[in-house]
Amino acid sequence: MFSRAYRAAVTVPPLLWVTVLLLIPYLLMFCYSFWSVSMAQTVVHSWTLDNYRELLRVNVYWQTLFRSMWIAARVMLFSLLLGYPLAYYLSFHAGKRKDLFYQLVIIPLWVSYLVRAYAWKTILGSDGVLNTLLQYVHVTTHPLGFLLYSPFAVVLTLTHIYTPFTILPIYASLEHIPRALVEASHDLGGSPSQTFWRVIFPLSIPGVLAGATFAFVLSLGDFLAPLLLGGPSGIMISNIVVSLFGAAYNWPLGAAISLCMLVLVVGLLFISERLEKKWSFT
Amino acid sequence: MELHMSNDTHASSGTRWLLVHTVAVFAFLYLPIAVLIVYSFNGEGVGGFPPHNLTLDWYRMLFADAAIWESVGNSVVVALAAVAIALAFGVLAALALDRAQFPGKALFRRLVLLPLILPGIITGLSLLMLFREADVKLSLLTIVLGHGTALISVATTEVFAGLQKVDRAQEEASLDLGASYWQTFWRVTIPNLQLPIIGAALLIFTLSMDEIAVSFFLIGRDNTLPLEIWGRLRRGITPEINAISTIIFVFSLVAIVIWYRLRVRTEGRPEIAELIEAAVQGGLTHEHES
Amino acid sequence: MASTTSESTVVTGLTKLATEPLLSIRNIAKHFGKNIVLRDISLDIAEGEFLTILGESGSGKTTLLRIIAGFETANSGQLRMSGERLDRLPPYRRRVNTVFQHYALFPHLTVEQNVAYGLRVAKLSDAEIVSRVEQALSMVKMKEYARSKPAKISGGQQQRVALARALINRPRLLLLDEPLSALDANLRRQMQVELKSLQREVGIAFLFVTHDQEEAMVMSDRIALLRSGELEQVATPREIYRRPATAYTAQFIGHTNLLPADIKDGVARYKSLSWPVQLPDGPALFSLRPENIRLAGISNDPIGDAVRFRGKLRHHAFHGASELLQIEHADGLVLWVRIRSSGGGWHGDLEFEFSPNDAAPVRESQTRD
């Protein structure tokens, strides 16, 4: 029905944009990872595998990567634990308050990341709200040091930020479950808890996978929370990349790490997508 | 998908615990922000409990702070430009995905959606390398290009969802009555997409105003608001930042509630969740497959 | 002579059941906000009977079913099954199972697993589950599809699985919520027959909900006609057809002519018609089925006291085995007549006759709300 001119008109501009500003940059990053940096702090376009060798050789990159993955895993886990019951309540039990609660979930999503990370920074510091509160009510006598500038702070803050992201896909998949199925389960003798584990939860798995992937992937690549709240023990892989593009000035090495991250993330997305399809029945 | 479960409750202790959990999670999500707001009025500054000596001093300081307002101006300009770009290309991309077949469509679809799910650092750095190689100086323009690229996906998903609801027969009727494709596009297609477009614009504007991860790498001489705040944070915390954060929160709140109401008017509860799912699945979650 | 059916049996449906009823529904009322869906329903369901709740959309029939299943709670009234209070139990403790309108098969489970579901949650042994599932699947002829997922089988097949899934639990009462409405006409007719024989075979009481009066007539032992939340009439198909209690019933089930007549001195008069009745003076409403009117002077089998009238053919519809004629008389009398199909060719004045016994008196239906 649509003429070729029409189809060309709608297809070409976005295709061009995406090619120039998405595809080519990724390809460039790929190329950079094989280049090197000269003494004079310029990038030399000579092809070498040195960057990757460096990555494999030097421990700190591995350690940081694993620490980042461990942090991301915890964020994912806590987001799911916090988010799933809320999504379930919202979908099945909220009744008249459903609209209100849904808005309450999406509002934090759009409040600046920076604002929220900053809020935690002021709360967790040794002179921060939490410490002074605890001392005020005589629960503790000195400020707790581990609250800020630690992996704990990073996990806490990232969980705070990504829990809404986890709630939404779970909520969406729960909403898609026809209520007749829940009734059918009850009708056949299934108690509410049996109904949940045998019918509701299996059918919500795609949403859980989507939310988990989102939380994990975004946490893994996060550099702002560690910078603000992580301290030396909370450095994540992206911070290393940032410094390589900044003071440490080694763009090719940074590109190599970024590329690894990109491959890792895309790989996770791919796996997640496959799993979701496998668990998708409705 | 509502059932008449209204009069029917087996409101057991299980449900009550769920409610407790829900309220607790909401508290977790909102208390930090509440603290922030409260302490923006605290005379003693950012820490310490309990807050006392309530004052508007920090707000006064904020309003006198020229650098902040300059960065706000920059942010607004960038956000408007980002909206324009993202919408222009996003609407076309949505149409292309909905109606056209072309080689590389699957790859295109995934590429468009990738920035939603990728950590911002990757998008930011890859663009930085592009600008470096192309010898483009970093400035507000590069930030605009960065935001536009990252946010096209938002426009695409929103408009695509809206397209599913457009009655194809209307466009066919228009063509049947003698209008050209171009005329049909402006007279029938776009008006039908009004609400998704406005919604997307609102969303993109808000996201652009808050954007920091991509902007971090593409910044030139001029700061956007988040970067300005970031700079100050590196130097030390002042309650002025609480004040500006409070203002940001209020604006975001208003923007989102408006967006939500808009969406509810078109099609029941908005499917932001589908946006996220779409990104994670690397596809658009409606039946149209390439 | 025409006579009325007793009001008590009509309204409460507590017709002469010989034994203790299986399910006793008493004064069930339900409203959603301002919307009153069920007013005051009392009905007994006998063991092993096939009872259909018939009604238009909005009549409350599905709500009544859901209350019995346990998915809704009535605002007042009681349900008793064999003497025990049913309405106090949650759905998963009632010995009642439902076949849902769109089957509600679990998409993530195979046919086999779907059917086994009720037994699994009851924690029966694997061995017993396997054997009973096999038996149930054979009964509905779905054995070859045991390992398939619901998405891969047709609507009719899904319906059989839904049946098996419900019946395997040996409920005391099976509820069926318009299960045939999603099927096409031929499959529907076939399933009506199969369902009826299945019910005879298992001997379980079936409570069937539908809006299709033909379906109700074909399948039921008794029909409960529901209108705007109240029972209009509860009777066997034959009785409800021959002796409709109200004008609504007469019109809802089959075609009829409604004659608003005036009775004086034992004679009912409507336009140019008059016939003898044994009823008190005053206005009365009569239902006359089109098939009870025939062409005058043709049959060798005369009707005693035949009422005759003349008229011209105004409209004519061919229904295959029969034809439906609309006959109009000069004084404005218009009647529908159904006759066996013939060669056709009607012209001029035609004369028809019917027996006074076939003019059944009906009550005016009260308007509600």
The predicted pLDDT at position A2 comes to: 61
Q: Which of A191, A194, A282 sits opposite C107 (nearest CB)?
A: A282
What would the pLDDT profile of C150-193 be if each residue is shown by its tens digit? 999 998 899 999 999 999 999 999 999 999 988 888 889 999 99
Which fold would CATH assign to domain C255-362?
OB fold (Dihydrolipoamide Acetyltransferase, E2P) (2.40.50)
Q: Which of A132-146, B110-124, B151-165, C147-161 has the highest mean pLDDT?
A: C147-161
Give the pLDDT mean for A70-78: 96
| A8 and A102 belong to one structural domain | no
Quote the domain boundaries for residue B123: 66-281
| B181 and B43 belong to one structural domain | no
Interface membership of B262 toward A (CB under 8 Å): no
In chain C, which segments carry CATH 3.40.50.300? 7-95+171-251
Q: Which of B126-130, B238-242, C153-157 shows the lowest per-residue confidence on average (mean pLDDT)?
A: B238-242
Specify the CATH number for the domain of residue B124: 1.10.3720.10
| A14 and A89 belong to one structural domain | no
| A69 and A128 belong to one structural domain | yes
Domain tally, chain A: 2
Domain tally, chain B: 2
Q: Which helix (H) or strand (E) holds A65?
A: helix A59-92
CA distances, B242 to each of B38, B48, B206 (Å): 9, 14, 19
How confident is the prediction for chain A on average, in pLDDT?
A: 89
In a domain, A221, yes or no: yes
| B130 and B254 belong to one structural domain | yes
The predicted pLDDT at position B63 comes to: 87
Distance from CA of A72 to the nearest CA of B (A): 12
| A81 and A143 belong to one structural domain | yes
Mutate to test the interface with B, among C73, C76, C87, C102 (most CBs of B within 10 A): C73
Instruction: Return the residue of B nearest to C90 by Cα.
Output: B10
Please report the number of interchain residue pairs, chain B to chain C, with beta-carbon separation below 8 angstroms.
13
The alpha carbon dihedral of B256, B261, B263, B264 has a sign of: positive
Q: Which of B28-37, B177-186, B236-245 has the highest mean pLDDT?
A: B28-37
Residues 6+ apart with CB under 8 A from C296: C306, C308, C351, C352, C353
| B41 and B73 belong to one structural domain | no
CB contact (8 A) between residue B8 and residue C71 = yes
CB contact (8 A) between residue B210 and residue A90 = no
More confidently predicted of C144 and A50:
C144
Quote the domain boundaries for residue A24: 1-30
| B32 and B176 belong to one structural domain | no
| A26 and A159 belong to one structural domain | no
Q: Which of A15-29, A36-50, B118-132, C34-48 shows the lowest per-residue confidence on average (mean pLDDT)?
A: A36-50
Q: Which of B129-143, B210-224, B271-285 shows the lowest per-residue confidence on average (mean pLDDT)?
A: B271-285
Residues of chain C contacting residue A202, judged by C-beta atoms under 8 Å apart: 108
Six token digits for residue C336: 């529908």
The predicted pLDDT at position B97 comes to: 87
What would the pLDDT profile of C248-265 be if each residue is shown by its tens digit? 999 998 889 999 999 999
The predicted pLDDT at position B127 comes to: 93
In a domain, A42, yes or no: no
More confidently predicted of A10 and A206:
A206
What would the pLDDT profile of C283-317 be if each residue is shown by its tens digit? 999 999 999 988 887 777 777 778 888 888 888 88
The predicted pLDDT at position A96 comes to: 86
Confidence band of C340 (pLDDT split at 50, 70, 90): confident
A277: three-class secondary structure by DSSP: helix
Contact call for residues B269 and A142 (beta carbons, < 8 A): no
In a domain, B206, yes or no: yes
The predicted pLDDT at position B108 comes to: 85
Instruction: Return the residue of B nearest to A42 by Cα.
Output: B132
| B42 and B181 belong to one structural domain | no
| A194 and A113 belong to one structural domain | yes
Alpha-helical runs (H) found in chain B: 13-39, 57-64, 66-99, 105-117, 120-133, 140-165, 168-176, 181-184, 190-192, 194-210, 215-218, 225-235, 239-267, 272-281
Asked if the ipTM is above 0.85, the reply is yes
| B269 and B249 belong to one structural domain | yes
Distance from CA of A178 to the nearest CA of C (A): 8
pLDDT above 60: residue C87 = yes
| B44 and B173 belong to one structural domain | no
Alpha-helical runs (H) found in C98-212: 111-121, 126-139, 155-167, 185-202
The predicted pLDDT at position B281 comes to: 54
In chain C, which segments carry CATH 2.40.50.140? 255-362
The predicted pLDDT at position C10 comes to: 40
CA atoms of B268 and C43, how far apart (whole Å) = 40
Residues of chain B contacting residue A212, judged by C-beta atoms under 8 Å apart: none
Residues of chain A contacting residue C169, judged by C-beta atoms under 8 Å apart: 188-189
| A141 and A222 belong to one structural domain | yes
The predicted pLDDT at position B275 comes to: 63
Give the pLDDT mean for B114-132: 90
The predicted pLDDT at position B96 comes to: 87
In a domain, A39, yes or no: no
The predicted pLDDT at position C129 comes to: 96
Give the pLDDT mean for A170-196: 94
Q: Which of A45-49, A271-275, B256-260, C11-15 shows the lowest per-residue confidence on average (mean pLDDT)?
A: C11-15
In a domain, A47, yes or no: no
| B142 and B256 belong to one structural domain | yes
Q: What residues are paired with B169 via a beta bridge?
A: none
In a domain, B100, yes or no: yes
What would the pLDDT profile of C23-58 be if each residue is shown by its tens digit? 999 999 999 989 999 999 999 999 999 999 999 988
| A169 and A254 belong to one structural domain | yes
**What pairing do the DSSP bridges indicate for beta strands A43-44 and C350-354?**
unpaired
Q: Which of B2-6, B112-116, C154-158, C209-213 shows the lowest per-residue confidence on average (mean pLDDT)?
A: B2-6
Confidence band of B271 (pLDDT split at 50, 70, 90): low
In a domain, B2, yes or no: no
Distance from CA of A58 to the nearest CA of B (A): 22
Alpha-helical runs (H) found in C171-274: 185-202, 213-219, 237-242, 247-252
| B23 and B133 belong to one structural domain | no
Q: How far is CA C267 from the centre of its chain?
A: 34
Specify the CATH number for the domain of residue A184: 1.10.3720.10
Mutate to test the interface with A, among B9, B13, B25 (most CBs of A within 10 A): B25
Distance from CA of A210 to the nearest CA of C (A): 18
Q: Does domain C7-95+171-251 have CATH number 3.30.465.10?
A: no
